[in-house]
Homo-oligomer: A and B are copies of this chain.
Amino acid sequence: MATKPPFISVWARETPPPRRGREHPALSREQIVRAALELLDAEGMEALSMRKLGARLGAGATSIYWHVSNKDELLELVLDEVYGEVRIPELTEPASWRDAAAVFAYGMRQAMLKHPWMVPLLGVLPSFGPNALAVNNTLMTAFEEAGFTGKTLDYAVGAVVSYTLGATTPEVTWLNMVARSEAGADEWLTNLMRQVEVAAADYPDMLARYSTEDFSDMGVAKSLTFDFGLVAMLDGLEVRLRWHLDESKPPDPSSASPAVDAAVDAAGRG
Contacts and interface: CB of A to CB of B under 8 A. Distances in A.
A110 B266 CA distance: 11
B141 A259 contact: no
A205 B127 CA distance: 19
A18 interface: no
Copies of this protein chain in the complex: 2
A257 B99 contact: yes
A6 B103 contact: no
Q: Is chain A's binding surface mostly helix, strand, loop or mixed? A: helix
A6 B7 CA distance: 33
Nearest to A232: B236
Interface stretch (A23-31, A62-70, A176-184): A176-184
Nearest to A264: B106
B225 A236 contact: no
A235 B239 contact: yes
A267 B107 contact: yes
Given A133-B206, A163-B159, A206-B140, A180 B260 contact: no
Interface string A65-87: 00000000000000000000111
Contacts of A140: 205-206, 209
Contact of A103 (B9, B93, B260): B260
Contacts of A119: 123-124
B233 A163 contact: yes
A46 B270 CA distance: 26
Contacts of A174: 126
Contact of A228 (B13, B128, B155): B155
Interface of A: 4, 6-9, 11-13, 46, 85-89, 91, 93, 96, 98-99, 102-103, 106-107, 110, 119-130, 133-134, 136-137, 140-141, 144, 151-156, 158-159, 161-167, 169-170, 172-174, 176-177, 180-183, 191-192, 195-196, 199-200, 203, 205-206, 209, 224-225, 227-237, 239-240, 254-257, 259-260, 263-264, 267-268, 270
24 contacts: A6-B182, A11-B192, A11-B195, A99-B257, A99-B260, A102-B255, A102-B260, A106-B260, A124-B173, A133-B206, A137-B203, A141-B205, A144-B205, A152-B228, A154-B209, A155-B225, A159-B229, A159-B233, A161-B166, A163-B163, A166-B167, A230-B255, A232-B236, A236-B236
